[in-house]
Amino acid sequence: MTTRFFGDTAVLAGRSLRHIGRSPDTIVTTAITPIAMMLMFVYVFGGAIDTGSHESYVSYQLPGILLITIASGIAYTAYRLFQDKNSGMFDRFQSMPIARSAVLWGHVITSVVANMISLVVVVLVALLMGFRTGASVLDWLSVIGILALFTLALTWLAVIPGLTAGTVEGASAFSYPLIFLPFLSSAFVPTDTMPGPVQAFAEHQPVTSIVDTIRAIFAGEDPGNELWIALAWCIGLLVVAYVLATAAYRRKFS
């Protein structure tokens, strides 16, 4: 059964990756909003923001922009799942002797690959805007690992509306609040100027720890405890989203 699972997942991921290859605009549109935000933050607000840090503002805000990129990218997973469910592709796959969960994993892996490509585009633009880091290969690998884990967690979250939404708008709309989470975090301004309750929220939501960790790694500093908090958030989110998504799947297609 496990060999079935890996083989079927690979075939189905190949299918949805081909969809992306046929409409590469999904990767571009995923990257364009975060890039526009980055231009605005760096060239409009950036000069007036005192981060209290010695690094350039473009480097300061990049981690938050990367998380916004992921939050907008995963909406496509919900959209593609919804389409498969409604068009009858799911019924076809379900009536075949393939590994049950491969149908979902195919979409999840596609999401991780597509988001990684969008992230590369955003980082390249940040480099043009003056983002510099002394991060070593190992540092980069840890940043990629954290971003991949966050993508995986949010993608499984996106599976839930993809399976349960009644309309295609509903399937994609859930990601808007996720896109705004970085604004209520340390992504663009330090949290200590925020009023009490906002600050309390900002300091205890997943984005802040992930942003602080990536920012520290890029700056060549030790992220310390933030790294473990970030990993705990990502893995916790992943487990909860995975359990809820597979439960929704089993309810729909048992």
Partner 1 sequence: MNPTPAIQIAGLTKSYGDVHVLQGVDMTVESGSIFALLGSNGAGKTTTVKILTTLLKADGGTASVNGFDVQTQAQDVRSSISLTGQFAAVDEILTGRENLILVAKLLRQPNPGAVADDLLARFSLTEAGNRKVATYSGGMRRRVDIAMSLIGNPPVIFLDEPTTGLDPEARIEVWQAVKELADNGTTVLLTTQYLEEAEQLADRIAILHEGRIIANGTLAELKAMFPPAKKEYVEKQPTLEEIFLAITSTSNGTSAGTTTVKES
Question: Shortest approach of partner 1 to residue 254 CB, angstroms?
Answer: 6
Judged by beta carbon, residue 8 or residue 212, the one nearer partner 1 is 8
Q: Rank residues 19 and 191 by Cβ distance to partner 1 and give the closer one.
A: 19
**Nearest-5° Cα angle at 167, 104 to 119:** 55
| DSSP assigned state of 189 | S
CB 110 within 8 A of CB 16: yes
**Taking the chain, what is the end-to-end CA distance rounded to the nearest angstrom?**
18
Of residues 12 and 75, the one with the C-beta less far from partner 1: 12
Q: CB–CB of 65/37 below 8 Å?
A: yes
Q: How far is the CB of 153 from partner 1 (least distance, A)?
A: 27
- In terms of CB distance, is 19 or 174 closer to partner 1? 19
**Minimum separation from the CB atom of position 4 to partner 1 (A):** 9
CB of 87 to partner 1, least distance (A): 4
Q: Is 172 left (phi over 0), alpha (psi -120 to 50) or beta?
A: alpha
Which residue's CB is nearer to partner 1, number 6 or number 140?
6
CA dist 164 and 157 (Å) reads 12
Nearest to 115 by CA among 64, 162, 172, 77: 77
Binding positions for partner 1, rule: CB under 8 A: 7-8, 11-12, 15, 18-19, 22-23, 87-89, 91-98, 253-254
3-state percent breakdown (helix, strand, coil) of the chain, nearest 5: 80, 0, 20
Q: Give me the least distance between CB of 247 and partner 1, in Å please.
A: 16
